[in-house]
Structure 1
Amino acid sequence: MSTGQHAITGEASKRYAKALFDLALEANALDSVERDMDAFGAAFDAEESLAKALASPVVSSEEKGRVISALAEKMGVSDIIKNYVRVVAQNGRAGLLQETITAFKARLATHRGAVTADVTSADALTATQLKELGAALKNALGRDVEIRTQVREDLIGGLIIQVGSRMFDSSLSTKLERMRNAMKEA
């Protein structure tokens, strides 16, 4: 995907997330919408083929709409979410649902006065590790921190933490790359 197209889809995701946030805020349903969006995110994480099918141009928008609506019904999510995913699918944007979840969570964290930290690790972090990391980040930043996690096995070990424009990279792959570069220069 080209950088330009990624920027376009990123903006679309943000617009959809803002619309959902505004609806949830107006309905005083931010907490339930957050739970439902978390449940959708977990469904995408658990079933990789679901995310691929929704992003595939081969699968029609109508079929994506049926799948995503059936999933919403089965999960027992709120009417706000049922209507939201139906509209997203009808508009041919079902492939953006994962990005939309991320954008919604970021908007919600900002609304709550928290800062969002994107944490990438080689393996999924345990609940204890997330709790300790959250406490350390809160101490360092002086604010509540909403942690979004991502697993990238190519990191080998360590973490990459990004908060706004600041990044801390302690991944083993980056350390190895630095060592390779230093050896080339020697």
Structure 2
Amino acid sequence: MAMASRIRAGFSLIRKTLNTTPQFAETLSPVGSSCNPIYSHFQQSRNYTKEIHTKEPEVKVPLVLFGVPGKYATALFSAAAKSNCLDKVESDILNLVEASKKSPLFSQFIKDPSVPAETKVKAVQEIASEAGFSEITKNFLAVAAQNRRLGLIEKIVKCFTELTMAYRGEVKAVVTTVIPLPEQEEKELKETLQDVIGHGKTVKLEQKIDQSIMGGIVVEFAQKVFDMSIRTRAKQMEKFLRDPVNFENF
């Protein structure tokens, strides 16, 4: 079964927990109670983290990110890097976000502030287990749910991807066209961008389709935008035609 399918299969739990939230909340011990298995799991995780910090050097994070999403992404990156499972964790959370985009129910569930944190913790733990996520990913989702940060998951994942790309020496280039680029043109564009950044880094090309640009191409690369779309050229032409004519130049 594909990863996305396994994740979606776990969404049935959300329907169940949403329908039984009051009863479910009553059966759980307080989150901070030592008899709560979820709390005990968190406590063991914290103790394990402390041991890592005392025995291993800090992981060098390739970028400094700010804000709550950046903070959570950095913590997840550090934990995954120390456990040597960056690729697995990245795959887990990307699959989770992709599957959640296809499920309005799940999206509503994680963003709804009225759903008790304990309910969200239970749900994401079950979904993570069903999908075969790593322990690092499961712990992260539980902590995010406990701290009511699941609504930021897409922003956190975006920040995490920025960290993993920087760690691997990858530079993202977003190419927008009205139709997919032919394979040969995509290859030539990638080679051109690779020449620009030189050796030591790798271009990672992402294609986007946007009919509104009318034609041409827009390339976002290395914090620069090369806009060669027909829409932009048309606007430039319109501006040129609307500007008053200076006859002194003739």
Does TM, scored on the shorter chain, surpass 0.5? Answer: yes
Q: C-alpha separation between the residues in 1 aligned to 2:99 and 2:217?
A: 24
1:174 counterpart SS class = helix
2:238 pairs with 1:180: yes
Structure 2 residue identity aligned to 1:75:
A
| Unaligned stretches of 5+ residues in structure 2 | 1-65, 245-250
In the other structure, the counterpart of 1:17 is: 73
Q: C-alpha separation between the residues in 1 aligned to 2:136 and 2:182?
A: 29
Q: C-alpha separation between the residues in 2 aligned to 1:67 and 1:126?
A: 41
Query: What aligned pairs does 1:27-176 form with structure 2 within 5 A after superposition?
Result: 27-47=83-103, 50-51=106-107, 53-57=109-113, 61-117=117-173, 119=174, 121=176, 128=183, 132=187, 133-142=189-198, 143-147=201-205, 154-176=212-234
CA contact (8 A) 1:158 1:172 kept: yes
The verdict on how the C-alpha distance between 1:16 and 1:127 changes in structure 2, with shifts beyond 3 A counting, is farther
In percent, how many aligned pairs have the same letter?
27
The verdict on how the C-alpha distance between 1:127 and 1:30 changes in structure 2, with shifts beyond 3 A counting, is farther
Q: C-alpha separation between the residues in 2 aligned to 1:52 and 1:176?
A: 40
CA contact (8 A) 1:120 1:152 kept: no
CA contact (8 A) 1:121 1:157 kept: no
1:170 counterpart SS class = strand
Q: C-alpha separation between the residues in 2 aligned to 1:121 and 1:52?
A: 30
Q: CA deviation at 1:81?
A: 0.7
Q: CA deviation at 1:26?
A: 0.4
Report which stretch shifted further, 25-34 or 138-147: 138-147
Report which stretch shifted further, 84-93 or 151-160: 151-160
1:77 counterpart SS class = coil
What CA RMSD, in Å, does the superposition of the two structures yield over aligned residues?
3.5
Q: Considering only CA atoms, is the larger Rg found in Structure 1 or Structure 2?
A: 2
CA contact (8 A) 1:159 1:170 kept: yes
The verdict on how the C-alpha distance between 1:131 and 1:150 changes in structure 2, with shifts beyond 3 A counting, is closer
| Unaligned stretches of 5+ residues in structure 1 | 1-9
2:159 counterpart SS class = helix
The verdict on how the C-alpha distance between 1:131 and 1:22 changes in structure 2, with shifts beyond 3 A counting, is farther
The verdict on how the C-alpha distance between 1:122 and 1:131 changes in structure 2, with shifts beyond 3 A counting, is closer
Q: CA deviation at 1:57?
A: 4.7
Q: TM-score, normalised by structure 1?
A: 0.72
Q: CA deviation at 1:72?
A: 2.3
Q: C-alpha separation between the residues in 2 aligned to 1:146 and 1:175?
A: 27
Q: C-alpha separation between the residues in 2 aligned to 1:96 and 1:48?
A: 16
The superposition leaves residues 86-108 of structure 1 with CA deviations (integer Å, 9 ceiling, x where unpaired) of 11122111121111111111111
Q: CA deviation at 1:22?
A: 0.2
